Amino acid sequence: MAMWFHRNVLKATVVMNFDFKYIQHDVDATKVACELKATRYKLLDMLPDPRGSGASMEQALSAYIALLQGLIEAPDGSGAPSKLRHALLFKWSHSLLGTSPQIQQDAVFEAANMFVNVAIWFMKHASTLCVKEEMNMDDAKEVHTALRRAGGLFEVVQKKFLPMLRERARDGGDLDPRVVRAYRDQCTAEAQEVSVARALELKHNPSLISALANETAKLFHEADAALSSLDDKVAGQWRKYLQLKNHFYMAYSYTYCGENLLSQDKCGEAIRALREAQTHYEKATALCKDYATTKGPAPRTGRPDYFSFFKKLALSFKLTLEKCERENGFIYHQKVPTDPPELEMKATYGLASPVEFQMPNHSPLWTPVAFAAIDYPKTSTDAANSNAAAKVEGDLKPVNEVKIEGVNTEAKSDDRNCVLQ
């Protein structure tokens, strides 16, 4: 089983100095501003390199969010909105929309975008862990955890931050509910790919493998469905990936469904299941070709059907189908049904779920004196003025991401890259 993934680009932003207006000069208030700037800079400095530690990234995010919390909720523990929520302008690009900035005078907008960026980092981190020619189970567990952490961060954006935003999300932007849902489902589906690989390695019952693969295929389908109303110029490349993964795991599900039916001497039904696996495999192969030629924001990675994991599935169902057809002719003489058999709908083990992110408490730097010393704007910049300012200022500088050799690189006919044996 392979770990081959589609990855969108990181989001771009600008340096924030946190130049608050002060009612009165206060050392504690100045320290809050300095620490906000420093922790944000450190976090952004870590993002371009996916080889870092997941624990270190999560700590850096928590350190920044603990300080940013004072701009979102009043630090007195009342849960009331902070008077400073609209004190500063924040600028972010979107992973599917190029480097044109969106500007909002809203700390929730900043928090949501930062969470998305860190979640994309965890997705890229998982890809980086797969560059080894052969992965052991510790590597696989780390990939699994990274993807579940990413899913948990997207879940925070979906459930906590999106309902709080006042301005309408940009269509196809990273705070568009459809995009957030697709990211979350993709992370969960990719984590389940690791579960499928583990089940294959341990030679679990074919019915369990079939059910796991079916659940994984459904998640990829749901992620694709979330993006279905977006313009193909924006999400077309991403959707091709989700569609090919859906058909790939449907092929896996029917392959092991066929093996399970054969073990029950239901040879005719097994043949029909394996023929259905071949149909889905052929659809996935066609989508691989489309994916390789579809333009989009994600880096080109070549055709996934050139990777050995793709070819190994074809070998698996073809050998089993030949065996079934041979034995049905000599032994069983069973009729092959017109319709494919029903797949197991719910796996009993191995289902992945997002790791819940524990929101940090307010930083202790938010003393009552520090909070009281910072002034808040009496009026906020409206969306029209923000968009006009974004056009005048031009595009943001794209993130200079570290390229990792071996991550989804162009595969040759005998390539074994990124394979979990």
Annotated domain spans of the chain: 27-391
Strand partners, 103: 91
For residues 265-276, one letter each, b for 16 or more C-beta atoms within 10 angstroms of the residue's C-beta and e for the rest, the string is: ebbbbbbbbbbb
pLDDT at 237: 95
Q: For residues 362 and 36, give the distance between their C-alpha atoms in angstroms, rounded to a whole number.
A: 12
Q: How many residues does the chain have?
A: 421
d(CA 398, CA 99): 6
| Bridge partner residues of 269 (DSSP) | none
CA–CA separation, 7 and 123 (whole Å): 7
User: What does pTM read for this prediction?
Assistant: 0.92
**Over its length of 421 residues, how does the chain's per-residue pLDDT go in tens digits?**
357 899 999 999 999 999 999 998 899 999 999 999 999 999 999 999 999 999 999 999 999 999 999 999 999 999 999 999 999 999 999 999 999 999 999 999 999 999 999 999 999 999 999 877 677 788 889 999 999 999 999 999 999 999 999 999 999 999 999 999 999 999 999 999 999 988 988 889 999 999 999 999 999 999 999 999 999 999 999 999 999 999 999 999 999 999 999 999 999 999 999 999 999 999 999 999 999 999 998 887 767 787 777 888 888 888 888 898 888 788 878 888 899 999 977 766 778 999 999 999 999 999 999 999 999 876 655 555 556 655 556 899 999 999 987 665 545 544 444 433 3
CA separation for the pair 314, 256 (Å, rounded): 12
Fold of 27-391: 1.25.40
- Side chain identity at residue 238, one-letter code: W
* 83, two tokens: 């008077």
* HEC secondary structure over 100-140: CCEEECCHHHHHHHHHHHHHHHHHHHHHHCCCCCECCHHHH
